[in-house]
Amino acid sequence: MTAGGGAMERIPILQMGEFLLVTIQVDLNDTLAQTLMDDLTAKVAATGARGVLIDISSVTVVDSFIGRMLNDIAATSRVLDATTVVVGMQPAVAITLVELGLSLGGVRTALNVDRGIALLRAALAAPADATHPE
């Protein structure tokens, strides 16, 4: 972000073939979370991406707000025919989420980016997707 704060802070979204990759490396404030959600939705629609990978390996807290954001991203992407995989959740975060009572029910998870990509590839190749001509 530039000094003076005029420029809007954003989390970059990278395109990797038919997938989008987001790496969250900052403590997300609400504005940044909302911007990310809007940007991702727009990018899925614009690119026709079939998968979204969200790398949260640097994220040290997932509270109910951020959890809801992840669920909302997955739900919106699904409507746009893209599968969302959240990768790299730290064990302490996972333990805390369970106790908080938050289920990331609508979100697939994988241990790391490589496994996340494998999961997306498998999802795309699965028979359920045979109805989508490619």
Ligand X SMILES: Nc1ncnc2c1ncn2[C@@H]1O[C@H](COP(=O)(O)OP(=O)(O)OP(=O)(O)O)[C@@H](O)[C@H]1O
Nearer to other proteins, 57 or 90 (CB): 90
- 58 sits near other proteins (criterion: CB under 8 A): no
Whats the size of the chain, residue-wise?
A: 134
- 103 sits near ligand X (criterion: CB under 6 A): no
C-alpha triplet 106, 101, 80: angle, nearest 5°: 15
H helix or E strand, kind and range, residue 102: none
Q: Which two tokens stand for residue 116?
A: 């996340």
Task: Write out the binding residues for other proteins, residues 67-86 only, by CB under 8 A.
Answer: 67-68
Among 5-13, 22-30, 41-49, 112-120, which window interacts with other proteins (CB under 8 A)? 22-30
- 65 sits near other proteins (criterion: CB under 8 A): yes
Contact partner at residue 60 from other proteins, ligand X, none, CB < 5 to 8 Å by partner kind: other proteins
Q: Indicate the pairing of strand 19-23 with strand 13-16.
A: antiparallel
Nearer to other proteins, 68 or 121 (CB): 68
C-alpha triplet 76, 82, 85: angle, nearest 5°: 90
- 64 sits near ligand X (criterion: CB under 6 A): yes
- 96 sits near other proteins (criterion: CB under 8 A): yes
Contact partner at residue 29 from ligand X, other proteins, none, CB < 5 to 8 Å by partner kind: other proteins
Phi and psi for 3 in degrees, rounded to 5?
Answer: -65, 145
Size of the site for ligand X (CB under 6 A): 2
51 - beta bridge partners? 19, 83
